[in-house]
Amino acid sequence: MNYQVIVLAAGQGKRMKAGKNKQFIELEGKPVIIHTLSVFEADPWCMEIKLVINEKEKDIFKELQHQYPVQKIKEMVIGGEERQDSVYNGLTSLQSAEIVLVHDGARPFISQEVIHHLVKKAAKEGAAIVGVPVKDTIKRVSKAGVVEQTVERSSLWSIQTPQAFRYAILKEAHDKAKAENYLGTDEASLVERIHVPVHIVEGEYENFKLTTPEDIILAKAFLQK
């Protein structure tokens, strides 16, 4: 089974407060983005990687590509203002595609096993995403900081990437969102708006997104495991 993947690295990493794009933070001597790309480079099902970058960081990424060559990157794509714009640019740069995955460069611990479950599901159903059941008790809280409700947890999932779709479905969802100025936090939220059922594949808690400084401590601990 084959797929193409859009790997997103064009964000600023503001919440990480590292003074640079969090993709360049080193874990065990290698930048985060290289850890992430290595998973797809090693996966025989992955035919092509579209790496989406910030125009201003082109030279840094070219240097990285020189230092850590990734054969499946045929070209780098320039991202946009919002994550969704970056995905769109990656998507429209694909010449032809059947199954497309979208993955955050900031999730370096995705496993090949989960990717394969996801790709099989997307090939069968058209749309599939990776998630894990929430572990905490979840409450709805008012703006004044008072609990309004304890939400029933059994149907709540924390959603990760990769998210996988038949190309035509993801393109239609993005075109509609663009036309209606809708901004979602993930691809599935756009696909839900064109009424295509999105299937969940249970993933791993290790596939967390490096978002704030504590995540780097966790990532280092995870790599030493």
Ligand X SMILES: C[C@](O)(CO)[C@H](O)COP(=O)(O)O
Ligand Y SMILES: Nc1ccn([C@@H]2O[C@H](COP(=O)(O)OP(=O)(O)OP(=O)(O)O)[C@@H](O)[C@H]2O)c(=O)n1
List of residues contacting ligand Y (CB under 6 A)? 8-16, 22, 52, 79-83, 86, 104-106, 209, 211
**Which DSSP state fits 55?**
G
Q: Which two tokens stand for residue 67?
A: 């230092």
List 2, 149, 185, 212, residue binding ligand X (CB under 6 A): 185
Task: Please answer whether residues 25 and 18 qualify as being in contact, where contact means their C-beta atoms are separated by less than 8 angstroms.
Answer: yes
- Of residues 15 and 58, the one with the C-beta less far from ligand Y: 15
161: contact with ligand X by CB under 6 A = yes
Query: Can you spell out the DSSP letters for 132-188?
Result: EE--S-EEEE-TTS-EEEEEP-TT-EEEEEEEEEEHHHHHHHHHHHHHTT---SSHH
Which x/- pattern over 87-116 shows residues binding ligand X (rule: CB under 6 A)?
A: -----------------x------------
Task: Please answer whether residues 15 and 23 qualify as being in contact, where contact means their C-beta atoms are separated by less than 8 angstroms.
Answer: no
List 47, 70, 123, 159, residue binding ligand X (CB under 6 A): 159
Residue 122 C-beta: closest distance to ligand Y, Å = 20
What is the binding site for ligand X (CB under 6 A)? Answer: 83, 104, 159-161, 185-186, 209, 211
